[in-house]
Amino acid sequence: MALDIYCWLTYRMSYLHKLTEIPWSALQMQFGADYAIQGQGPRDFKKKFLHHLRSVLVLYPEAHVEDGERGLLLKPSRPHVVKLPPVLPRLKASPIPEPLLLPLPPLPLTDAPHLKTSTYERAKKAAPGWDIYELERQWREWIINKEPPKKPDAAFIAFCRKKATAGKVNTR
């Protein structure tokens, strides 16, 4: 987690121009997927995050951060990685065309079930050769208008297994 925090903090400080408070819930979604959303989970995540943040600040003492009222308070700081000037001037028209990347529609973050990290490994076994993250996107799209499953990890594994089985039937 410390390496993830360092990378995120280094990037975030490179463009931060005003005081910003990042809610703990947003940080937990990004860095603490294995922690429960309710009960003791947010407190455990915050404690572990701050522990790792202290070790990051040993390497990056210029980062001005503190525990805020509702989240992590980021204050404009000197970037840890200095931007180098370009060696060659940028061309107005690139000789190599950029690939066209179409953004996927964003998934709603509220009330979306969180999956354990181990679930992804189990899903890979349930649907070998399939893109598990694409299957997750399809599963989340499918359950969006349904009642949230009581056991989201088991429901996702079953979804992957069903997709993989249907795929085998269709390819023959």
CATH value at residue 40:
3.30.1370
Cut 0.75: pTM above it:
no
Report if residue 129 sits inside a domain. Answer: yes
Report if residue 148 sits inside a domain. Answer: yes
pLDDT digits (tens, 9 = 90+) for 25-54: 888 888 887 888 788 888 888 899 999 999
Query: How many domains does the chain fold into?
Result: 2
Residues 124 and 66 in one domain: no
Q: 37: which 2 tokens? A: 């959303």
pLDDT digits (tens, 9 = 90+) for 58-107: 999 999 999 888 899 999 988 888 777 666 665 566 555 556 666 666 55
Report if residue 104 sits inside a domain. Answer: no
Residues 64 and 7 in one domain: yes
* Burial call 33-62: b when 16+ CB within 10 Å, e when fewer: eebeeeeeebeebbeebeebbeebbeebee
Residue-number span of the structural domain to which 22 is assigned = 2-75
